[in-house]
Amino acid sequence: QIQRALRSLCIPLERLHIMKGHMMQDMCKGLSRQTHSQAKVRMLPTYICSTPNGTEKGNFLVVELCQNQIRTLLVTLYGDGNMSPQMVYKIFDMPEGIVQGEGEALFDFIAQCVSQFLAETTTPDTSSSEGHLPLGFVFPFTCRQTQLDKAELLSWSKGFSCTGVVGKDVVQMLQSAINKQELSHVKVVALMNDTVGTMMTCCTEGRPCEIAVVADKGSNCCFMAEAYLVETAEETSGRMCVNTEWGCFGDDGTLDDIFTPYDKSVDEESCNPGEKRFEKLVGTLYLGEIVRHALIALTAEKAVFTGSDIAALKEKGAFTIQHVLNIINNEDGMTDVKRILEVLGLQPTERDCGRVQQICRAVVGRAATLHAVGLSAILSYMCQTRDLETLMVNVGLDGELYKGYGRFEEILQGVSRLLSPECLATLLPSKDGSGRGAAMVTAVALRLAALRRAVDEVLGPLRLTHADLEKVQALMRQEMERGLGKHTNATASVRMLPTYVSHTPDGTERGDFLALDLGGTNFRVLVVHVSQEGISMASEIYVIPAAVMRGTGEALFDHIIDCIMDFQMKQNLMTQTLPLGFTFSFPCQQVGLDKALLLTWTKGFTASGCVGQDVVQLLREAAQRKQHSGLRVVALLNDTVGTMMSCGYDDPKCEIGLIVGTGTNACYMEEMRNVGTVEGDQGRMCINMEWGAFGDNGCLDHLFTQFDRVVDESTINPGKQRFEKLISGMYLGEIVRQILLVMTEKQLLFQGKASPKLQTRNIFQTKFLSTIEFNGLALRQIRTILNELDLDASFEDSVLLREVCQTVSLRAAQLCAAGLAAVVEKMRENRGLDQLAVSVGVDGTLYKLHPRFSTNVQKTLKDLAPKCDVSFHLSEDGSGKGAALVAAVASRAA
Ligand code: ADP
Ligand code: MG
């Protein structure tokens, strides 16, 4: 019988694995907004979003409401890594009956304790509290917390039943009581559960403590979860401590099969049968009872205490956790065990003593094992949700069972290693329990609030309101009109260049064409085959050395011809003279489809002798110099036009082209009657806006922040391409870098230390923004980026870095949308429509690869131009296809 009893208390490993799985499922259920209310593991958000980093400083008052005492505590932190906090405390006994009386009386009593404590205590001067004394309130009851300092009591427990508190904000109640004591400099800043306090005291140098397990009368655990997974709280970035309230695990029956008859008896005799099933297997309030029921059953089966009187065992609560722990901690001999049992009024034989000890060990060992199951569920969950291969984490421990049971730590460590081999938990004892931790929570909360204010001050100027964007839209519209006007064109910042492309494709275009693409990141030569089956092409990328970009125009165009000849050779095209379309992505004054004067270089090109010249002619002259006769240039076009044309081949509604890559620009189909710079009033013509220069006349100066100005000044064209410098890939990374430098200087990031690498111009690439802003699981990649920049970043640094990137890329997308809004609204008005349906062909790596840019553009555009129904198509190789399509239209006309 005794063996059977012991076996029933021993849970096989496979069963533990299954239990861990159930626990993880229940955790997810508790975190999800939809299933939270039915979840057994409550997963309550605590609104504690960070752990101490050692810079916390000042005096912090703590009030802890305990079973029958009030503990007041004054903690002084010196910003020295929390190595040597100073602490003074006092314990007050609660008057008889107060815990069942009126709520107001309870809070008045607490406030009196605070008042008396402060009167007796001198608060050290730390010169950082600004006259306030922040207070952390440890309130170990189940609350619905909606802020760190707002928590509605859901229900009393542990013998408390004060009236008029359930459903009320207990922070508010405490603050009112404190104010009544004329202590209005004391501000209740944070409310927390004791588990959270434990976690907060275990933070050591280097790695924060992110889990706490309290194995006490009840049992509970808290840990730092990814905030976006805590759906019941609004917070989405960073992490938030979640109070698991795992005591109710199993209340839906998932633990029924491991419940022994002794557990069932304990449950039936408890004041809440059927509830808190997990807690009843592991809480010290119940372990003595489980042993007692096991002994009663075994006596009935004549396995122990045969023939002796066990009346003493029949009384509820006769066997306490202290008895159990004393019995099992006696490894040597049975005399102590015998004595303990005799004091209880039993007459054990030597054999009885041994068996009682075995039962006690089994019950307590099981409790430790089940704690390990819970811990391993948390560990694996954290490891998965942080996208880690191995999780290394500190776990704070506290509670009667942990302190009283010698093997608790060993079992917790061993079993959780078996169940979560991918996780490495370092177990740490809590220092001074929840009180000091509460001071830490309060200190961290104040540190974060100060950080938030400072961050908002830096990022504020980069955040645009709807009104700001409407203003940009209106200004763009104004500049567009000026650019189109015959007399205003010369001074407009948006040049509105005619392209001599008057039709989008109709799908009947046919033939083979050569195409050149110059002005993007790569120079390419292509051959494009347009047939009934669609468009196919082959291409080759050629490098334009920096020396050639910035040398003479002749050398640049000679190089281009060399590349074309190489391409024709490789493609076996030497004998044919194919019509050539030239995508040339720089602002040009176009006089005809194949005649275009370069207005200015952009994007790092400065080749001499080109500005003011006809680019097509420059190419033809180079061909002559190289004695290459098989070249027939029929059209020159901007890449925006190429993009619009290539998307237009598939979608006739596509009448806008947009680029957001190295630079940014747009084109669209304008009515000829509005184009003052070209003769004729019939039909439409595509206008290359050259909107990158929008603002060069100063009209956007109000949007420029100190960061934008620094970036602009370090470019080769300061004061030029102002709109582009707020939006495109060439600049966003550098803007972010400037912000990071300022934030570091203000001690908001990287502990105030910027690495020499971070001080290198252009080292922060725009593609980093894409990686960093990628939702959820990118923290590891963020770390990789920061490591490459030699930056020692904390988790909070990573979260702040993400916020900086989001702010910069959001502003870029919104400005781009404001520009587009001006375009689509003008088109709608041109056509006298109430509602315009139009498509935009888009190219550019920033638009295509950034995880939020396109969504942000589209969302903002909907807000700004609600009467336009705009769809976006990504262009596949627009420059090549588009050049061929323009060439096809041109050679058909010729
Ligand atoms: P171009 O505009 O020169 O024709 P792209 O459209 O490829 O060329 O854009 C290049 C720009 O895109 C570069 O300035 C770079 O900063 C940016 N970029 C490259 N990769 C990414 C990425 N993953 N996310 C966002 N931007 C990127
Ligand atoms: Mg491009």
Asked whether residue 290 is assigned to any structural domain, the reply reads no
Catalytic residues: 524, 585, 639
Compute the distance between CA of residue 752 and CA of residue 791 in angstroms, rounded to an integer. Answer: 11
Q: Provide the pLDDT for residue 796.
A: 83
Please report which ligand is nearest the Cα atom of 521: 1
pLDDT reading at 699 higher than 90:
yes
Residue whose Cα lies nearest atom 19 of ligand 1: it is: 767
Contact of 615 with 596, CB cutoff 8 Å: yes
Are the beta carbons of 238 and 794 closer than 8 angstroms?
no
Residue 212: inside a domain, yes or no? yes
Residues 6 or more apart whose Cβ sits within 8 Å of residue 421: none
Question: Residue 124 domain-assigned?
Answer: yes
Q: Which atom of ligand 1 is nearest to the CA of 770?
A: 24
Nearest ligand (C-alpha, residue 662): 1
CA distances from 133 to 178, 297, 540, 709, 748 (A): 12, 57, 70, 42, 24
- The distance in angstroms from the start CA to the end CA of the chain is 104
Q: Is 215 part of any domain?
A: yes
With a cut of 60, say whether residue 777 has pLDDT above it. Answer: no
Query: Does residue 800 fall inside a structural domain?
Result: no
Residue 205 has pLDDT above 70, yes or no: no
Residue whose Cα lies nearest atom 7 of ligand 1: it is 845
Per-residue pLDDT, averaged over 62-91, amounts to 86
pLDDT category of residue 9 using cuts at 50, 70 and 90: very high
Per-residue pLDDT, 175: 96
pLDDT digits (tens, 9 = 90+) for 303-356: 888 878 888 888 888 899 999 999 998 766 788 888 888 888 888 888 899 999
Cα-to-centroid distance, 481 and ligand 2 (Å):
27
Residue 424 CB-half CA count within 13 A: 6
Q: Give residue 520's pLDDT.
A: 67
DSSP letter at 624 equals: H
How confident is the prediction for the chain on average, in pLDDT? 91
Residue 219, domain CATH: 3.30.420.40
* Ligand 1, atom 4, residue with closest C-alpha: 520
Residue 212: pLDDT band (50, 70, 90) is very high
Which residues have CB under 8 Å from 601's CB, separation 6+? 586, 607, 610, 611
Q: Specify the pLDDT at position 203.
A: 67
Per-residue pLDDT reduced to its tens digit, 572-592: 988 888 899 999 989 899 999
Express each pLDDT in 525-542 by its tens digit: 999 999 888 889 999 999
Closest ligand to the CA of 854: 1
Residues 47-58: tens digit of each pLDDT: 888 888 788 888
The CA 520 to ligand 2 mean position distance, Å, reads 4
Distance between Cα 523 and ligand 2 center (Å): 10
Nearest CA residue ID for atom 17, ligand 1: 729
Distance 662 CA to ligand 1 centre (A): 5
Ligand 1, from 583, 662, 875: best to mutate by most atoms within 8 Å of Cβ?
Answer: 662
**Which is higher by pLDDT, 639 or 776?**
639
Residue 572 Cα to ligand 2 middle (Å): 27
Give the separation between CA 882 and CA 867, rounded to whole angstroms: 29
Q: Which atom in ligand 1 lies closest to the alpha carbon of residue 730?
A: 14
Task: Dump the DSSP string for 9-71.
Answer: T---HHHHHHHHHHHHHHHHHHHSTTTGGG-SS--EE--------S--EEEEEEEEE-SSEEE
**Residue bearing the CA closest to ligand 1, atom 6:** 844
| The predicted structure's pLDDT at residue 307 | 78
d(CA 270, CA 264): 10
CA distance 226 to 43: 13
- Report yes or no on 503 lying in a domain: no
User: Which atom number of ligand 1 is nearest to the Cα of residue 843?
Assistant: 6
Query: Ligand 2 centroid vs 686 CA: distance in angstroms?
Result: 19
Determine the structural domain holding residue 35 and report its residue range: 4-282+367-454
Give the pLDDT band of residue 383 (cuts 50, 70, 90).
very high
Per-residue pLDDT, 448: 85
Separation of CA 357 from chain center: 51
765 CA closest ligand 1 atom index: 16
Give the total number of structural domains in the chain. 1
Q: Which of 523, 539, 766, 808 is the pocket-test mutation for ligand 1 (most atoms within 8 Å of CB)?
A: 766
User: What pLDDT is attached to residue 128?
Assistant: 53
Report pLDDT for 336.
Answer: 85
- % of the chain beyond a pLDDT of 90: 68
Predicted pLDDT of residue 126: 61
pLDDT over 70 percentage in the chain: 97
Place of tokens 């404590």: 117
User: What pLDDT, on a 0 to 100 scale, did the predictor assign at position 738?
Assistant: 97
Q: Any residues with Cβ below 6 Å from ligand 1, and which? A: 520-521, 661-662, 729-730, 765-767, 770, 844-846, 849-850
Q: Which of 254, 285, 271 is nearest to 374 (CA)?
A: 254
Ligand nearest to the CA of 878: 2
Is residue 242 situated within a structural domain?
A: yes
Nearest to 443 by CA among 44, 47, 50, 46: 50
Residue nearest to atom 15 of ligand 1 (CA): 729
Tens of pLDDT along 274-285?
989 999 999 999
| Tens digits of residue pLDDT in 421-464 | 999 999 998 876 677 888 888 888 888 888 889 999 999 999 99
The pTM (predicted TM-score) of the whole model is: 0.78
Q: What confidence score (pLDDT) does residue 82 get?
A: 65
Q: At 206, is the pLDDT very low, low, confident or very high (cuts 50, 70, 90)?
A: low
pLDDT digits (tens, 9 = 90+) for 654-687: 999 999 999 999 999 999 999 999 999 999 999 9
Residue 654 lies in a domain: no
Does 118 have pLDDT greater than 90? Answer: yes
746: tokens are: 């203000």
Testing ligand 1's pocket by substitution, the residue of 816, 846, 879 carrying the most ligand atoms inside 8 A of its CB is 846
Quick one: which atom of ligand 1 is closest to the CA of 732?
16
- For the segment 459-512, what is each residue's pLDDT rounded down to a tens digit? 999 999 999 999 999 999 999 999 999 999 989 999 999 999 998 888 888 889
Query: Mean of the pLDDT values across residues 131-144?
Result: 88
d(CA 869, CA 859): 12
Q: Which of 324, 339, 294, 292 is nearest to 404 (CA)?
A: 324
CA distance 475 to 708: 19
Give me ligand 2 centre to Cα 23, in Å: 51
Pairing verdict, β 534-542 and 523-531: antiparallel
Instruction: Report the DSSP pairing between strands 534-542 and 391-398.
Output: unpaired
